[in-house]
Structure formats: C-alpha cells, structure tokens
Amino acid sequence: MSLSESEENTPLLKGDVDSDDDAYKNRWRSIRVMYFTMFLSSVGFTIVITSIWPFLQKIDVSADGSFLGWVVAAYSLGQMVASPLFGLWSNHRPRREPLVCSILINVSANIYYAYLYLPTSENKFHMLMARAFVGFGAGNVAVVRAYVAGATSLKERTSAMANMSACQALGFILGPALQAGLSVIGETGWSLDLIRLEFNMYTAPALLAACFGIINILLVILVLREHRVDDHGRHIRSINYISEERVTVPLDVEGDIDQIAVVTSNILFFIILFIFAVFETISTPLSMDMFAWTRRQAVLYNGIILACIGFESILVFLAVKVISQRVGDRPVLLGGLAIIFCGFFILLPWGNQYPKIQWADIHNSSRTQQAIATTVFAPNATVEPTGCPADQSWCLYTPAIHLAQYIISNFLIGVGFSACNVMSYTLYSKILGPKPQGVYMGWLTASGSGARTLGPVFVSQVYTLLGPRWAFSLICGIVMAATLLLVGMYKRLIAFSIRHGRLQE
C-alpha cells in the first residue's frame, strides 16, 4: 500500500489521518509532555555533574579520583538496569504508571543527594548510591522513546525524534548553566534547622532537580493521555487517564519484527554512544596535556566548547528533520558516521612539534635529558604543574595536537554524533513498527548506558598507557567497523510497514 499524494504533502508536524481535532491536539500535547520529561532527564544528569568532585571531597576526605569515576558511572549503570524493566512495565500497563514511579525515584534520590553530609561515615558510598538511584529513575527514557514512537506516524517520527533530541541537548546545556548560577550561594549557604538541611551550592542543584521532578509528575498525571497510532497515523488506542475512558480501534499488525535489524541497531547505537563517551572523557586530559592548560583553564575552555557543541546539536537536529525527508534516514546515519571518522582522524598527532613536558614527577632516568629540553619549570612550589606528565612515556615521542586540530575535531564530532544519535533510534523505532516498543526501547537505552559506562574506562586506559595516536586510531577503526556493519545491513534497516509491503519506500 503506497502513500497517497495528499498524504505526501501533509505538513511534517500534522497527523496523517487524524480527523478528530481534539484527538490530534491531545496526542501532540502528550508528546510535548514527553519532550519535557526527556529535557528534565538530561538536566538531572548534568545539573550536579560539575560539583560532584568538590562535594565528594567535602563530605568524605577519603574519596579519591578513581572513586569519582565510579560515582559518575553509577548513573549510567542505574539507567542500564532500569531501562528494560520500565520498558517491560510500559508494554503491559498505562505508561503513566512507570513514568510516575520512575520520577518519584528520581525525586527521592535527589533529596537523598542533598542530605549526603548527614551520615557520620562512608559518605562517599552514600553518594554512589544516590547517583545510582538518580540513574535508575532516568530509566524512564525508554518509556519516553517508546511512547513518542508509538504516538507518531512514519512521516512524523523523524521530526518528533529530532525535537526530543533537541530537548535532551538543551537539558545538557542548561544543567551546567543552572549549577553555575546556583554557585553564587557559596559553599556555606544557610541552614534550615527544622529539617536539618544545609542549603548551599552543592545541595541546591539537587533540590531544584527534585522540584522539576514534582512538576513533571503533575504534568504526567494531568496532561498525558495514552495514544497509539499506526504508521499511517490512524489511532490504535486512546485512553483518558482521568475518566479511564478507553477507545480501541482494531488494527492488523501481523508480521514479525526483523530481529537481525534490531540487534544491528542496538550495536550501532552502542558504538555511537561509546564514541561520544570517549570524546567527553578525553577532552579535559587531552587539552591539559597538549596545550599546557591548568585545571581551571581546561574546565572553562572545554565547558565553553561543550556548550557550543550543544547549541550546534540543536541546529543539526533541526537540519536533520529536513534532510532525512529528502534522502532518507539511513544515508543521514551513514553520513554522520563518516563525519565522526573525519573528526577523530583529524586528531591523530603529526608534525615535529612536541607537547611541553610537565616538570613534576621527572626523575633521573634515560629519558630525563630529552624531557628537560621541553620542560615547563614552576617558578615556585605553589604553581600548578602544567603540560604532558613525564610518567606518560608517550609524551616524550608523540607529536603535539594543535589547537586548530582540536577545535575542528570537536566541531565535526559534534555534528556527526548529533546526526547519528537521532537517526539511530528514529530508524530503530521504525523497524519495530506498531508493535509494543517498551522492552525494545529499554534494551536500546541500556546499550547506550553500557556504552557510557565502558567508554570512559576504555579511553582512560588506552590514552594513559599508549597515548592519543593509539587511542584515536582504535576509535577510527571502531567507527569504520560500524560503517561496514551499516553498509552490510543497509537493506534490512527498513521500516516495519515497508518490510511487510504496507508502505512503499
């Protein structure tokens, strides 16, 4: 069955077959609640991320840098465990239930985080648990994606997914900005003795995230309605949560989901998130090693760069909605991988200039004479050592990465990742078709969370031991493998209705 000419000319943000104006408005009102939920999920992750380390040092002096890595990874681990569970729940019950439950967990975890100074010992483990529960609550991302996929037609899907990605990117931008704004409260702040709360620059962001969660719960209860449409936009089911009125339209959804395409999509999504996690993790140590930036400079400059990438991502999401309508989803995904490959390839060191060697930790050895020539000596003991640490032996023979390389690479990786991110789960939702997508979206979210957990571990080990040349060469190899996988499975990565002959490509 092919789309009629009138359907092909339907505006992107309008339903294909919706004749009931109220149903159409309710459907898109509910989708916008999901946009807001996705936005708050990313805000909840980033609003405390820049203050975790100083807060951890304040509440538990025994915590070190390696434990910080576990605290950061706890969020992704919690999300990885929760995503399939909430997805399964949403397949069999109204989505309001897992959404409200998950957001309540998130609110409680943020309040728990705000009281981390109360325990008299092992505070670092309490922080670990708090961040794990925040991540567990963020497992509702699977429900959000499944809802939007099920409530949009094929023509609407790419636009809706792009809008949702833009909301997610906006959350990643505004989260650190909110934290920066709340830093004016200071480390001392003030105390509310009645509830034993210390309101300061560390606890305020978590409490603000909890307030956002309460607003989100109210929107889910009062505004969200259950809507499912087929690939043409015809309603399958509509549920009014307040009156519990239920309208069901029988629809033939015979046909099996292509499980090979599902597995392939999960692998591609894992690789895409893995690559970006590597990029996020390596940016600060790489810039400090190559450009002799201080910790403060690295945080400031990389923060500005990441904010620019965030705004860049929003523009890419808007462009993707137009481009994918012209060329299709798979070519955009393929082009995004190609751009990511170019971004990491540009980062490969070359030339005859070498990074400055950090004066600290240089001892008498066979490499000392070579190191002295490029050593940055501190004028006094209080100056922070800068440059590439001499205990990383590759610093002595690996050419420096130039600032222009770094900035161009950041730009290309930001463009490529943004395109791949939205196209990967847009294509995935189309492969699943009108079947219940909760569990499948749960596994997709879990694969992304696993990638964000393993990526930092991988790059920190390879970069520290072997240097940027090996690290970025391996990443280029991984991107190339993903590209070959996409090309090999290209004909199978098609929409459910197209695969079963109900629509034409």
Together in a domain, 151 and 232 = yes
- In-domain check, residue 505: no
What is the per-residue pLDDT for 314?
82
Token pair 């003991």 is found at: 381
User: Does one domain contain both 269 and 135?
Assistant: no
| 119 found inside a domain | yes
Domain assignment of residue 112, yes or no? yes
Strand, coil or helix: 357:
strand
Higher pLDDT among residues 365 and 449, named by residue: 449
Give the H/E segment covering residue 242. none
Residue with tokens 């239930």: 97
Give, in degrees to the nearest 5, the angle at Cα 44 between 40 and 46: 115
145 close to 84: Cβ distance less than 8 angstroms: no
Same domain assignment for residues 65 and 203: yes
In the prediction, which pLDDT does 415 show?
Answer: 92
Whole-number pLDDT of residue 244: 42
CA–CA dist 126, 120 (Å, integer) = 11
pLDDT above 90: residue 109: yes
Are 346 and 366 within one domain? no
In this prediction, residue 246 carries a pLDDT of 43
Give 361-385 pLDDT, tens digit per residue. Answer: 444 444 444 444 444 444 444 566 7
d(CA 363, CA 450): 40
Q: What is the DSSP string of 433-481?
A: TTS--HHHHHHHHHHHHHHHHHHHHHHHHHHHHH-HHHHHHHHHHHHHH
CATH number at residue 158: 1.20.1250.20
Q: Is residue 483 part of a domain?
A: yes
Tokens of 159: 């636009």
The reply to whether 11 and 49 lie within a common domain is: yes
DSSP 37: H
Q: How far apart are CA 289 and CA 396, in angstroms?
A: 12
Kindly state the average pLDDT of the residues 101-117.
93
Of the three residues 226, 251, 276, the one that is the final residue of a domain is: 251
pLDDT confidence of residue 64: 67
Same domain, yes or no, for 190 and 298? Answer: no
84 with 190, same domain: the answer is yes
Residue 256 lies in a domain: no
412 domain residue, yes or no = yes
Longest CA–CA span in the chain (Å) reads 81
468, 471, 476, 479: CA torsion to nearest 10: -140
The last residue of a domain, from among 217, 251, 285 = 251
Looking at the structure, do residues 39 and 88 belong to the same domain, yes or no?
A: yes
Q: Record the pTM.
A: 0.71
Residues 272 and 223 in one domain: no
Mark whether 9 and 91 lie in a shared domain. Answer: yes
Identify the domain containing residue 73 by its residue range.
1-251
Which tens digit of pLDDT belongs to each residue from 27-76? 889 999 999 998 988 887 778 877 777 788 788 888 765 677 688 778 88
Q: Do 138 and 44 contact (CB within 8 A), yes or no?
A: yes
- Domains in the chain, number: 3
Which of 85-99, 153-167, 375-389 ranks highest by mean pLDDT?
85-99
The single-letter code of the amino acid at 234 is: R
First-to-last C-alpha distance (Å) of the chain: 10
In the block, tokens 């043409």 appear at 232
Residue 403: what residue type? L
In a domain, 300, yes or no: yes
3-state SS, 208-221, equals HHHHHHHHHHHHHH
Lowest mean pLDDT among 4-18, 47-61, 62-76, 453-467: 4-18
- What separation in angstroms does the CA of 341 have from each of 276, 416, 472, 476? 12, 9, 10, 6
Identify whether 181 is part of a domain: yes
Stretch 444-454: mean pLDDT, rounded? 82
Same domain, 227 and 362: no
Does one domain contain both 488 and 421? yes
- Which of residues 225, 251, 277 is at a domain's end? 251
